[in-house]
Chain A
Amino acid sequence: MDVVNQMQRQFVDYSTSLHREGILDDQFTQLQKLQDENSPDFVVEVASLFFEDCEKLINNMARALEQQGVDFKQVDASVHQLKGSSSSIGAVQVKNVCIAFRSFCEAQNREGCLRCLQQVTHEYSLLKNKLQTLFRLEQQILAAGGSIPVIE
């Protein structure tokens, strides 16, 4: 059980750090609270949907920005969607970049948009890695017979 405790502590620390670093916010905690015996993998499922959406949207934006004549409305629409998606999982950094991104879209500033795209991709990748680590920790705890600590 010591191992389990250790893992649980690790999990809590890691989770807390994600919040502290501003990578995740309270929304993520809400999601964790929603998880129950009816949907034991709820958070992982939501995260997967999020990753899918994100990747699709980022690709859309990249493609749109590559065009000769950039359709900023289209880019903006994608950014808006990404903003919405990121708010679903509590991806703060991603959301923040989206806000800046939208201003550049409105200003039809291609350079600015490209920079934001880069940033958003970076933040997204970072988040994905961290979440995957977190989920792995969870799996390890469960595999060892422990339960996931609830973080308030």
Chain B
Amino acid sequence: MVVETGFSSPRTDAFPAGLRVLVVDDDSTWLKILEKMLKKCFYEVTTCCLAREALNLLRERKNGYDIVISDVNMPDMDGFKLLEHVGLEMDLPVIMMSVDGETRRVMKGVQHGACDYLLKPIRMKELRNIWQHVFRKKIHEVRDIESLEGIESIHITRSGSELFDDGHFLGGEDTTSGRKRKDGDNKHDDKDLGDPSSTKKARVVWTVDLHQKFVKAVNQIGFDKVGPKKILDLMNVPWLTRENVASHLQKYRLYLSRLQKERDIKNSFIGIKHSDPSSKDSNSGAGLHNSMNVIQDNVSNGSFSFSVNNSCVLNVDLKGHEGDVKGISSGPMAESKGTFSIDIPDPPRAKSLQISFDHSLGSVDSVVNLASFSSTDTVQYSWNEIPEIQFKQEYEPLQLENRTNQLPQPGLQHNLLTKYLQPTVSVSPGPSVTEKTATSSGFEVKPMCDKYRNNHIKLSSPTEAVGESHTLNDQVFEPICTTTSSMKSQDIIPNHLTESELSPRNLYDGVGVENLQLCWLQGDCYAMDSGLQGFDCTEYNNPTMIPEMPVHLYDAPRFDHEHLFDPMEYYVIDQGLFA
């Protein structure tokens, strides 16, 4: 039940009146009451009783809403997941509500990025003030620009400042830093510095591609030394502004710290040893199950095995994501162009995964609707040009905890934070494997593919891939979701703390094991949530070597991995092994 009140631009002159609020609650009584209350505040209200519907609405009308209020307990999707989605995709302030005011829950809300957590019964006065969250966000962005501009003008001749030390800052750049990279693209951040409340900032959608660039830049700079300007310059995205990067960086940091916390909790989950995935079971993708077992076995080891011989060890351990797919809305499958599908090979073929990637270069639109994938029960990876991806695992145990490996390439940090990707891929442990032939070279996992393509895994073309080497090598895979042997869809993160070891810290420390947890902050609801968790790939040079690579992990089928991986599970990327 969606009640549309019509979309109009905010009446900025009357701010906060006209604030466009989207309310999501499965309780129809509350929905009615909240709608009434918000209307009394002169807000424009849209109600929605399903989280998926809400996401659809938000995606359909970018910039159509100013703030989202959502209940925590909803039947179709966990409120926290919705919260993360909104934060990542739309960068809107989200207020959580619940009748349960337990501190733990509230904390969880805040951790997931909620700007407020209201307890039911909610009073009018609490709703009256929600506009402050919208205003605050704008102010911060404005401040960021202003301060940057201010600094620029003051320090124009200085060097050494973190903001300007990358040489990009020269006299040529004027103080309108907020606009210097603008072009006509409506995705740009048109920041009107003069009047935050009247600024209608076009929200930047952090596509996979964009996020890949971001992560690459962050890794190149070094997480500790990172700063918005440096990142921005490295990214070389003309229309992106510093404040976009700054706010994204902030979220990224929060995300990492959250991961770290979870990792800390799951200290014992280290060591994902990937044994020969010959034992296939009927689990979604033999490899999946296999890897899961492996992980289970090795969970206590605290060591990751990676094959080091110049091949990418892709240890994709897709934990049972049966339930993970639920996070994916069930929209229609996107057209092939934008469709990302991962085919999970049948058990007998567990070792090889036909992955064809549909690489629609440049066609990856900002938001790939996750919704479009939910209907598919299987994740279909279509590898273009990669008929068979063999996956062998040979890796040396890596002590996750005490990594002394230094990443040969510091740049190898590819954060496949699906969180930052447009969630579009639904990965489900469907046992059926369908091969898709990619139409273009390279692989397109909607959410990830661009990222990979441009970013770290230059798999799009052999030469490219080779040249890059590294695709994975150069990338630090952010352990987004650690897969846990429990394969829980719900709490993927805590469960998957195996990967937690592969936290960004590891990555940044040059630790070899990278957990590539795509999507997966929540283990659910994120594109690859369903399972792509530890992405372990040392080097992708031979796409055929990746049996069940979570599609989004690769850009082009160039993997040289002699490792087994279960794309559905998680990927652990051992950076150290990246030659």
Contacts and interface: CB of A to CB of B under 8 A. Distances in A.
A81 interface: yes
A77 B100 CA distance: 12
Nearest to A25: B121
A38 B100 CA distance: 32
B124 interface: yes
B325 interface: no
Nearest to B120: A87
Given A49-B28, A81-B27, A87 B33 contact: no
B300 interface: no
Interface stretch (A8-16, A26-34, A119-127, A141-149): A26-34
B155 interface: no
Contact of A81 (B37, B73, B123): B73
A84 interface: yes
Interface string A27-53: 100110110101100100110011011
Question: Which of B26, B28, B29, B37 is most buried by chain A, counting CB atoms within 10 A of its CB?
Answer: B29
Contacts of A53: 27-29
B37 to A, nearest CB: 7
B30 interface: yes
Contacts of A45: 32
B123 A88 contact: no
B1 to A, nearest CB: 12
Nearest to B36: A34
A85 interface: yes
Contacts of A46: 29, 32-33
Interface in B102-156: 120-121, 123-124
A85 B29 contact: yes
Contact of B123 (A30, A38, A80, A83): A30
A94 to B, nearest CB: 12
A97 interface: no
A75 interface: no
Nearest to A34: B36
B40 interface: yes
B99 interface: yes
A83 B99 CA distance: 7
Given A88-B27, A88-B120, A34 B73 contact: no
Interface of A is mostly: helix
Interface string B20-35: 0000001111101100
A89 B32 CA distance: 11
Interface string B56-91: 000000000000000101000000000000000000
Given A30-B124, A81-B73, A89 B27 contact: no
Contacts of B100: 80
Interface string A83-99: 11101111000000000
Most interface-central of B30, B73, B100 (chain A CB within 10 A): B30
B36 A90 contact: no
A18 B73 CA distance: 30
**Residue in A80, A88, A89, A90 whose Cβ sees the most chain B Cβ within 10 Å:** A88
A87 B32 contact: no
A34 B29 contact: no
Nearest to A54: B29
B17 to A, nearest CB: 16
A33 B36 CA distance: 11
A109 B37 CA distance: 39
Contacts of B99: 80, 83-84, 87
Contact of B29 (A80, A83, A88): A88
Given A34-B36, A34-B37, A34-B40, A84 B123 contact: no
B69 to A, nearest CB: 14
A34 B99 CA distance: 20
A84 B36 contact: no
Contacts of B37: 34
A52 B29 CA distance: 9
Contacts of A83: 99
Nearest to A89: B29
A36 B36 CA distance: 10
B36 A39 contact: yes
Contacts of A89: 29
24 contacts: A30-B123, A30-B124, A33-B124, A34-B33, A34-B37, A42-B36, A45-B32, A46-B29, A46-B32, A49-B29, A49-B32, A50-B29, A52-B28, A53-B27, A53-B28, A80-B100, A81-B26, A81-B27, A84-B73, A84-B98, A85-B27, A88-B27, A88-B121, A89-B29
Interface of A: 27, 30-31, 33-34, 36, 38-39, 42, 45-46, 49-50, 52-53, 77, 80-81, 83-85, 87-90
Closest 6 CB pairs of A and B: A84-B99, A88-B29, A27-B121, A49-B29, A87-B121, A87-B120
Given A77-B73, A80-B73, A84-B30, 10 more contacts: A27-B121, A34-B124, A49-B29, A52-B28, A81-B27, A81-B73, A84-B98, A85-B30, A88-B27, A88-B30
